[in-house]
Structure 1
């Protein structure tokens, strides 16, 4: 995907030219971030929310100036709506206030506005490929929706400070690609912005690990996927097609987890809590288990604000199946407006449903088979995610499963060439997917040799950045 110039109307050239928005860029690492942190910590604590908000808006404006006013307008409107829904969470009459028609109208206005803006750009992008999707619109829209729902339910108290609410919505580490932090998780950090030296050090560790995952693994693995697209799907052999699917799966994982670790690390460096967005997903034992471990903040968002309100699994099997279908249909549409994203969401949803109804319990009893199952099925679903053209998608699956007669491979020996070039990266990717590796590092992360490894990792990543063009994070487009 990273080699495609335009995906679902999203001009990647626009991102590449705005390096201040990309965490894995020299401009961000050696200009924006150090300057921001110095200004932030020289500012008295009570004014740091203002610094965070203005810094986030300036950073967003550097990369997406045409949509900065959209972000500001949505933030201001949601702040005002939240204040009008305000309720004392300690009040014994909270349940009666839930049913207050006025508050329901304010919630409805928030949902119509937020979902409407998101749908306008998603649907408009389908109708006119020249319409660009504002960076991070799916992420900051979901943050605003969760805030309004939690205020309405009485789970959190509406924020009285625009600077505080604006910092929550527009916080630059999470603005463009998440994780999707809930307001109740963010509120304590926003109240006392700042951290201890130990927290700052831990955040810096995560930043370096994420940078290494992105620059040294994801970007390098992405070269193979780019090569396969350049060759043309109709010209690759079946083994190379499978190698491409596996490689893309690892690329996407290290790209997005790398971003998430950097985002969480930067957040911790300014006093925000740690948010876990991945939990060794490729060690899952089923598709359902995989999606409980992958992009966990998005999964929990759909669970709490769509699946459970629709009844979850409490209203019988037919309703359960309907709820799962709706959740996965929306998940596909959230990721993109292309037909392939819709097919991808439906496909994953069908696997989840079939596992629940038939062989999910059997998989849980056969660990080896279940791991093999995941390592076959998940890369196939990622191919649907990656290939936006339906004819090309058909050709690629024809190469994966050469029973449909799509013509002879021009170079059936191509697998040997590319495997000899990328085997060490694939091996490294698989190695860092092993739970014991991260467990070892977490145990020794404060040791001098672990810090020395991180120092070497950082400068290796910087060296790589100085010798290659910046490659935007793959989730920038959603």
Structure 2
């Protein structure tokens, strides 16, 4: 690769390629990650944040070269704004009201810049197809906004080290698809990068489990959804449409949880804390409960920086409903500016509101009904999320609900063909959604047989990767 130098005897052009951005790629697993970890741990502790920052930028530049300067510029600007807010706080010569006014101006500048850049690319990508969406922009922008808000509130001190702040924003395990780590969670780890053998081992376990979830479950389940798209929504039967909705739901879960586990595992291998991003969401008892368990770092971000500042549930029912509407509208926009994402956000928000007003408490007392309810409603909302074309979305829902007269059931035999091909994957997906499975593994995770299972899982995933094309994680597009 031109422009990539030979460093320390390694040809970085061969080590880092576009596929290095994909954790579930052979290039990442057997080239980038091992070389990075060797260089990282051979470097003295006080310089490791520099290695982390440069390694992260190099990885991003080789996968997304068009937007590396944007990432660097946003990082540098937010670092300087944070420092200016800190300078004002520490100055003993400035009147407090004047000081707070200046700090608000710096915060406003940060918010306008960060939100403006994100909105430009999100909206521009829809208006003009020539405007490409930078990889990971939704994630690293939210990290920068939370940092500025926490500095302004006095929750954290502004970072004096560009290498430290840059590593927080750009660290490669979280750069492209999260989790959205807060600065106060990361700051201590950034000061003392490195981990014990036990932490490294635990991180490696999470990495392997996440790899298995992505490669052996999510990617295989995705084949059915791709087949349905190839057939054409207008040509599928109602049973196959429902099977597709369930399959896509499981695919998205194992894809994103797989990424999150790999990201957290790699983070632990370099000394960052464990972050929980999923908590058995398909064991939820309501849509509200589901979203407390799914993509938890995004949900807590909207709670702390939008919902609570707007008043939360403290200002009466009308204000509560308004706050929920705003949060879910923004959640839809965060995922994309397409109309389907707006409809998806509004739909989920309406379910959350209706549960709060009417039947949420009833669901909490009827566990079996509540689980069935979640397993029906959530896949329907994911269909809105998945199908970006409104005409196609209408056709798909016409297949799901043919009794409304939108369309008639076609080729009813197709369900037998595809169910016979994928029943074992669906069964495996449901099995690994059961809390008792993860509880058993956590209890025995240090045993020889658990480690043997992980070893088999790893090499099964590697074998699958050698025989299939790399499939990017689904949340890369956000």
Deviation string for 1:335-358 (max 9, x for gaps)?
A: 011100000000000000000011
User: 8 Å contact 2:193–2:272 — kept in the other structure?
Assistant: yes
Deviation string for 1:318-337 (max 9, x for gaps)?
A: 11010000000000000011
1:66-105 equivalences in 2 (<5 Å): 66-86=66-86, 100-105=100-105
Structure 1 residues 290 and 117, CA gap change in structure 2 (3 angstroms): same
Structure 2 Cα separation of the partners of residues 208 and 23 of structure 1: 11
Q: How far 1:92 moved relative to its partner?
A: 12
Structure 1 residues 69 and 3, CA gap change in structure 2 (3 angstroms): closer
SS in 1 for 2:225: helix
Q: How far 1:4 moved relative to its partner?
A: 32
User: 8 Å contact 1:329–1:342 — kept in the other structure?
Assistant: yes
User: 8 Å contact 1:234–1:409 — kept in the other structure?
Assistant: no
User: 8 Å contact 1:16–1:470 — kept in the other structure?
Assistant: no
SS in 2 for 1:203: helix
User: 8 Å contact 2:213–2:258 — kept in the other structure?
Assistant: yes
Q: TM-score, normalised to structure 1's length?
A: 0.95
Structure 1 residues 350 and 299, CA gap change in structure 2 (3 angstroms): same
User: 8 Å contact 1:249–1:379 — kept in the other structure?
Assistant: yes
User: 8 Å contact 1:234–1:395 — kept in the other structure?
Assistant: yes
1:74-473 equivalences in 2 (<5 Å): 74-86=74-86, 100-473=100-473
Structure 2 Cα separation of the partners of residues 394 and 4 of structure 1: 48
Structure 2 Cα separation of the partners of residues 199 and 230 of structure 1: 44
SS in 1 for 2:403: coil
User: 8 Å contact 2:208–2:454 — kept in the other structure?
Assistant: yes
Structure 1 Cα separation of the partners of residues 370 and 355 of structure 2: 11
User: 8 Å contact 1:2–1:226 — kept in the other structure?
Assistant: no
Q: How many residue pairs are counted as aligned between the two chains?
A: 478
Q: Which runs of 5+ in 1 are unaligned?
A: none
Structure 1 Cα separation of the partners of residues 413 and 283 of structure 2: 31
Q: Which runs of 5+ in 2 are unaligned?
A: none
User: 8 Å contact 2:292–2:299 — kept in the other structure?
Assistant: yes
Structure 2 Cα separation of the partners of residues 15 and 255 of structure 1: 25
Q: How far 1:412 moved relative to its partner?
A: 1.1
Structure 1 residues 12 and 30, CA gap change in structure 2 (3 angstroms): closer
Q: How far 1:410 moved relative to its partner?
A: 3.8
Structure 2 Cα separation of the partners of residues 423 and 43 of structure 1: 49
User: 8 Å contact 1:15–1:63 — kept in the other structure?
Assistant: no
Q: How far 1:99 moved relative to its partner?
A: 6.9
Structure 1 Cα separation of the partners of residues 5 and 133 of structure 2: 14
User: 8 Å contact 2:17–2:27 — kept in the other structure?
Assistant: no
Q: How far 1:408 moved relative to its partner?
A: 3.9
User: 8 Å contact 2:56–2:170 — kept in the other structure?
Assistant: yes
User: 8 Å contact 1:233–1:392 — kept in the other structure?
Assistant: yes
User: 8 Å contact 1:9–1:131 — kept in the other structure?
Assistant: no
Structure 1 Cα separation of the partners of residues 2 and 289 of structure 2: 27
User: 8 Å contact 2:88–2:102 — kept in the other structure?
Assistant: no
Structure 1 Cα separation of the partners of residues 281 and 197 of structure 2: 31
Structure 2 Cα separation of the partners of residues 313 and 91 of structure 1: 37
Deviation string for 1:287-309 (max 9, x for gaps)?
A: 00000000000000000000000
User: 8 Å contact 1:2–1:471 — kept in the other structure?
Assistant: no
Structure 1 residues 78 and 28, CA gap change in structure 2 (3 angstroms): same
User: 8 Å contact 1:7–1:388 — kept in the other structure?
Assistant: no
User: 8 Å contact 1:87–1:94 — kept in the other structure?
Assistant: no
User: 8 Å contact 2:207–2:263 — kept in the other structure?
Assistant: yes
Structure 2 Cα separation of the partners of residues 446 and 389 of structure 1: 47
Deviation string for 1:357-381 (max 9, x for gaps)?
A: 1100010011111000000000000
Structure 2 Cα separation of the partners of residues 332 and 7 of structure 1: 43
Structure 1 residues 4 and 93, CA gap change in structure 2 (3 angstroms): closer
Structure 1 Cα separation of the partners of residues 322 and 206 of structure 2: 39
Q: How far 1:404 moved relative to its partner?
A: 3.2
Q: Which moved more, 1:86-95 or 1:235-244?
A: 86-95
Structure 2 Cα separation of the partners of residues 457 and 31 of structure 1: 20
Structure 1 residues 94 and 406, CA gap change in structure 2 (3 angstroms): farther
Structure 1 residues 86 and 401, CA gap change in structure 2 (3 angstroms): same
Structure 1 residues 475 and 14, CA gap change in structure 2 (3 angstroms): farther
Structure 2 Cα separation of the partners of residues 248 and 5 of structure 1: 42
Deviation string for 1:405-436 (max 9, x for gaps)?
A: 34444411100000000000000000000000
Q: How far 1:94 moved relative to its partner?
A: 13
Q: Which moved more, 1:162-171 or 1:129-138?
A: 129-138
Structure 1 residues 5 and 303, CA gap change in structure 2 (3 angstroms): farther
SS in 2 for 1:86: helix
Deviation string for 1:97-125 (max 9, x for gaps)?
A: 79710000000000000000000001111
Q: How far 1:2 moved relative to its partner?
A: 30
Which residue is equivalent to 1:25?
A: 25
Q: How far 1:403 moved relative to its partner?
A: 1.9
